[in-house]
Amino acid sequence: MQGRPGGRAEKDVAGTTISVEGVSEVDRVLLASPRGFCAGVEKAVKALAWMVRVFDAPVYCYHEIVHNRIVVDHFREQGVVFVDDVSEVPPGAPLMLSAHGSAPEVVAAARANGGVVIDAVCPLVTKVHHELKVRTNKGYTVLYIGHAGHEEAVGTMAVAPESVRLIEHESDLDALAKEDIGGEGAPVALLAQTTLSHDEWRGLMESARERYPDLWMPNRSDLCFATTNRQASLKAMADEAGTIVVIGSANSSNTIALEKVALASGCPRVLRINEASELPGDLTGTVGVTAGASAPEALVEAVIAELAPRLGVTEVMVTTEDEYFPPPPELRELLRSVGATLGFMAGLAGSRSDSARSDPVTDDRGVSAADVLDMLAS
């Protein structure tokens, strides 16, 4: 792809408007906040980084640790082998299970393989697994709004395949016969994949509620805080942007949800890119930039540098996020058993926060996943 004209953009996250050098046809960048890595991705990336530090290569990972090609390639360079079937993992080899959550039989097969298993599932996905189990045990048929074949949907539905029905489109609701939902008057519940677009979820939820007036739903939808916040920050800037650039991979559900939200906002031009080199050379005016929950901030910085907005960058912040998920319990146990004297994240954490300095194994919030990726690359 053709590169953009212009010079260098300087981004100062603390401020709202940032000066730039160079000549560009892009006037201004509106930068959505929150964007990029969420707490679940932070947890998973840092956990896999620990694994490659503790074990000799290869370390195995069931499914992509998070849906971002650049992050996955980064770990491949560190000797991580990504597999889609636990049978591909040699007996006794260390294995990580991805952030999207795994089917119970996959977790069982992983544990039966004889090696160390660390499950990096996001706690918010685990919550949906739990809700499905509870509703099934209470005799409900569960309508699950999600995307066929997506790893999170596959893993969740496998928790109770006999009682769950996948709803991807309105036609899936139309096609449900009485016997599919346990007969007339039987209890029906509604759950969802965590990373859907709000509009997509709301439309299907309202249709389901019309059909089943006694439908049970959690008090809050299963769409996670990171999904909700990233869509809200994109919406907040959409009216002003002539183009919106969504950074993230095509197999990232929350990235695709952002793309849908941007298109629904009426923005004249929406681009989803993996990295700055994919930017077209004809962008002008005001460009909105955001990133899916599995896209590292370094990609955002590279995109801004490439756009080199003449009048700088304005951050559009709708909320701040302070959610934090500690390392998986099996990992904490493992690090304690090996002494955690690797000086790896511990060293970084010591310079970043008091809480991390006290015990970086239990509480590693003083270190970001971006720092860890940089450190592995160095």
The binding site for ligand SF4 (CB under 6 A) comprises 38-41, 99, 122, 124-125, 194-195, 224, 226-227, 254, 293
Please say which residue, 18 or 32, places its beta carbon nearer to ligand SF4. Answer: 32
Residue 176 CB neighbour total at 10 angstroms:
17
Distance CA 118, CA 77 (A): 20
Grouping H, G, I as helix, E, B as strand and the rest as coil, residue 338 is: coil
Paired strand residues for 7: none
User: Per the residue annotation, which of 42, 64, 152, 168 is the catalytic one?
Assistant: 152
Q: Concatenated DSSP letters for 166-227?
A: EE-SHHHHHT--GGGGTSTT--EEEEE-TT--HHHHHHHHHHHHHH-TT-B--SS-SS-HHH
Question: Is position 297 annotated as part of the catalytic site?
Answer: no
Please say which residue, 173 or 293, places its beta carbon nearer to ligand SF4. Answer: 293
Minimum CB separation of residue 87 from ligand SF4 in Å reads 26
- Cα–Cα distances in Å, from 164 out to 99, 101, 121, 201, 372? 22, 17, 21, 17, 38
Please say which residue, 196 or 287, places its beta carbon nearer to ligand SF4. Answer: 196
Please say which residue, 18 or 71, places its beta carbon nearer to ligand SF4. Answer: 71
Minimum CB separation of residue 213 from ligand SF4 in Å reads 29
Kind and range of the H or E run holding 106? helix 104-112
Minimum CB separation of residue 72 from ligand SF4 in Å reads 15
Distance CA 247, CA 61 (A): 24
Please say which residue, 24 or 229, places its beta carbon nearer to ligand SF4. Answer: 229
Minimum CB separation of residue 193 from ligand SF4 in Å reads 9
Q: Which two tokens stand for residue 89?
A: 């993992």
The identity of residue 226, as a single letter, is A
Q: Which position's Cβ is nearest ligand SF4?
A: 40
Q: Concatenated DSSP letters for 148-176?
A: TT-HHHHHHHTTSTTTEEEE-SHHHHHT-
Nearest of 364, 106, 128 to residue 227 by alpha carbon: 128
Minimum CB separation of residue 46 from ligand SF4 in Å reads 13
Q: Which residues are catalytic?
A: 152
